[in-house]
Amino acid sequence: MLGQNFPLTRLRRNRFDAATRRLVAEHSLSVDDLIWPIFIRDGGGDPVEVQAMPGQFRVGLDGLARHVEQAAKLGIPALALFPVTPAELKTPEGREALNPDNLICRAAMLLKKEFPDFALVGDVALDPYTDHAHDGLLRDGYVVNDESVEILAKQAVNQANAGIDFIAPSDMMDGRIKALREALDGAGHIHTRIMSYAAKYASAFYGPFRDALGNQGALQGDKKTYQMNPANSDEALREVAMDIAEGADMVMVKPGMPYLDIIRRVKDAFGVPVFAYQVSGEYAMIEAAARNGWIDHDKAMMEALMCFKRAGCSGILTYHAVQAARLLHG
């Protein structure tokens, strides 16, 4: 680069005042970038706070419209729905995933009616429905691939039938995008988008989420035979390449902040819309430190979100969506 000679060049001049800093900013964060994940349970009553995620709730279906109204008013474009399935409906095969009257389907129908402008993201994986809490079918202690994909394809169609706009497979089975695309098209859902959790890592940062779903302790073993090794980066590009070739409309990297390098590599290599999932453990860390007075909550939250944009994200799934949108609206 030219002109890097001090004192002719003083890079601090472009940081001199707020107006200049705003003008030279390379990236920006807006409400358009936010997807808010929410936990839904059956019935009524007050929302129940998730212990390790202060400020996030398991919301009863009866109170769902009231709960998401704030997000609609703030202009948040999308919600990601996660069901808290009662233990008695969990089975080894996760059959409840295919029930057209399950929580996700009922929530989708309700939300489509009350808030037609929201894009609804439906997570496709069996873990909210299996008693062993794995994302697919367990056979002799191993999560089998092809048989799981068959069920996941049916789960995707079930969600699309109920009005889910973005099918987001988080299961990490091989070949699932193609199977889902074909199943969706076969059922007439040619416009239903697929947001693939393409590079999803076997991460300790999902802890609070599993707790929110009531899966903590239920999980037999770990998810390392299907979710990626945090040591790998080239492999993420292969995952993304496969998913795009199979018909994914957009891809996701998950978790978020420890994996910004992956986001950047994916964006540079493929130029497709990339999303980050700032996961439950990341949310918990910011909330915990802020509640102890160790960091400034709002500044840390906004900085983390901006960094996703800088890394190349089109948008972010974040439990901070509502709080961030409030700040963005001033």
Site stretch for ligand PBG (CB under 6 A), options 39-47, 112-120, 202-210, 260-268: 202-210
The reply on whether position 318 binds ligand PBG by CB under 6 A is: no
Alpha-carbon distance 111 to 99, whole Å?
18
What the block records as the tokens of 24 is 């030279």
The reply on whether position 280 binds ligand PBG by CB under 6 A is: yes
CA-based nearest residue to 194, from 255, 149, 264, 246: 246
Which residues in 129-148 contact ligand PBG (CB under 6 A)? 135
DSSP letters for 96-131: GGG-TTSHHHHHHHHHHHH-TTSEEEEEE-STTTBT
What the block records as the tokens of 21 is 């800093």
Site stretch for ligand PBG (CB under 6 A), options 111-119, 181-189, 203-211, 297-305: 203-211
What the block records as the tokens of 241 is 């390449």
90 is catalytic: no
Q: Tell me how many residues contact ligand PBG (CB under 6 A).
A: 11
Whether the CB-CB separation of 140 and 169 falls below 8 Å is answered with no
DSSP state at residue 76: -
The reply on whether position 39 binds ligand PBG by CB under 6 A is: no
Which residues in 65-124 contact ligand PBG (CB under 6 A)? 123
Report the nearest approach of ligand PBG to the CB of residue 116 (Å): 25
CA-based nearest residue to 84, from 55, 121, 47: 47
- CA dihedral 203→232→263→33, nearest 10 degrees, is -20
Residue (34 or 279) nearer to ligand PBG, CB: 279
Which residues in 228-267 contact ligand PBG (CB under 6 A)? none
The reply on whether position 275 binds ligand PBG by CB under 6 A is: no
Q: Which residues bind ligand PBG (CB under 6 A)?
A: 123, 125, 127, 135, 170, 206, 209-210, 223, 279-280
Residue numbers annotated as active site: 200, 254
